[in-house]
Amino acid sequence: MVEYLFKTLVIGDIGVGKTSLIKRYVHHVFGSTYKPTIGVDFALKVINWDSETIIRLQLWDIAGQERFGTMTRVYYRDAVAAFIVFVLDINRNTTFEGVRKWKDDLDSKVMLADGSKIPCFLLANKIDMLEESEIDAKKAQLDDFVAEKEFAGWFPTSAKENKNIDRAASELIRTIIDNE
Ligand code: GTP
Ligand code: MG
C-alpha cells in the first residue's frame, strides 16, 4: 500500500465559495449563510485512489481577504497543486481580474522542485445561478483564458448543487500523481 500526502491550495476572491466547495467535498454539506474565513482553514480528505494507493488530500482554504495581506507566501509553501475559484459574471465582459491576480501571486511565490509552475485548475463556481446557455456562451472565452494563463483546465462548479467538485478534485489528483 502506498500513501501520499498532497498539500493543495484553494484561493480566489472574497465570497466566491471556496469554503463552501471544500465543505461540500469533504463533509457533504452546504449552508447559505456567509461566514468569511479568517486567515486560513484546513481540511483533509482521505481517498482510496485505487487498490494500492491512499491519497491524503490536504486542502488549505485561504481567505479571499488574504490577497491584500502578506501571508500568502507562507501559506503557499510546499503546495503541489491549487484551485482558483471565481464566479462567472455574465452581465459584463469578463476580465477575470481577480483570477489573474491570484494566478500571478501563486506563480511568483511557489513552484515545483524542477522549477515549473504548480498545476492549477480554475473553478467557475455558483453555476446553479446561471442558465446552461449562459455558461455555454462563456466557454470559448474561458478556454482561451485558461490557455493564456497556463491553467491545467477549468470546471463549472456548484457547491450548492454539488456539480463537478469530485470531478475537479480527481483531475487535480491525477495531475499531481503524473508529476510525482
Ligand atoms: P472568503 O472566506 O471570504 O474568502 O469566502 P469564500 O470564498 O470561502 O466563500 P464562502 O464559501 O464562504 O461562500 C460565500 C457565499 O456564497 C455563502 O453565502 C455561500 O452559501 C454562497 N455560495 C457558495 N457556493 C455557492 C454555490 O455554488 N451556489 C450558490 N448559489 N451559492 C454559493
Ligand atoms: Mg472562506
Mean pLDDT on 11-21: 97
pLDDT at 95 over 90: no
Beta-bridged to residue 6, according to DSSP, are: 57
Q: Give the number of the atom of ligand 1 that is nearest the alpha carbon of residue 158.
A: 27
Pairing state between β 53-62 and 2-12: parallel
- pLDDT tens-place string over residues 141-164: 999 999 999 999 999 999 999 999
Q: Which residues of 101-124 are buried (b: 16+ CB within 10 A; e: fewer)?
A: ebbebbeeebeeeeeeebbbbbbb
Q: Give the number of the atom of ligand 1 that is nearest the alpha carbon of residue 22.
A: 11
Cβ–ligand 1 distance for 158 under 6 Å, the answer: yes
Q: What was the pLDDT predicted at 68?
A: 86
In this prediction, residue 176 has a pLDDT band, given cuts at 50, 70 and 90, of very high
pLDDT at 93 over 70: no
Query: To test ligand 1's pocket by mutation, which of 9, 11, 20, 84 has the most ligand atoms within 8 angstroms of CB?
Result: 20
Query: To test ligand 1's pocket by mutation, which of 33, 34, 40, 165 has the most ligand atoms within 8 angstroms of CB?
Result: 34
In this prediction, residue 91 has a pLDDT band, given cuts at 50, 70 and 90, of confident
Residues of the chain above pLDDT 70, percent:
98
Question: Residue 56 and residue 65: Cα distance in Å, rounded?
Answer: 27
Q: What was the pLDDT predicted at 126?
A: 97
Rounded to two decimals, the pTM is 0.97
Protein residue with its CA nearest to atom 29 in ligand 1: 126
ipTM exceeding cut-off 0.85 for this assembly: yes
Long-range pairs of 109-118 with CB within 8 A, sequence gap ≥ 24: 109/72, 109/73, 109/76, 110/76, 110/77, 110/78, 110/79, 112/80, 112/179, 117/150, 118/79, 118/80, 118/81, 118/82
Mean pLDDT of the chain: 95
Q: Give the number of the atom of ligand 1 that is nearest the alpha carbon of residue 163.
A: 27
Q: Give the number of the atom of ligand 1 that is nearest the alpha carbon of residue 12.
A: 7
CB 81 within 8 A of CB 175: yes
Q: Could you give the dihedral angle defined by the CA atoms of residues 111, 82, 166 and 38, in that order, rounded to the nearest 10 degrees? A: 150
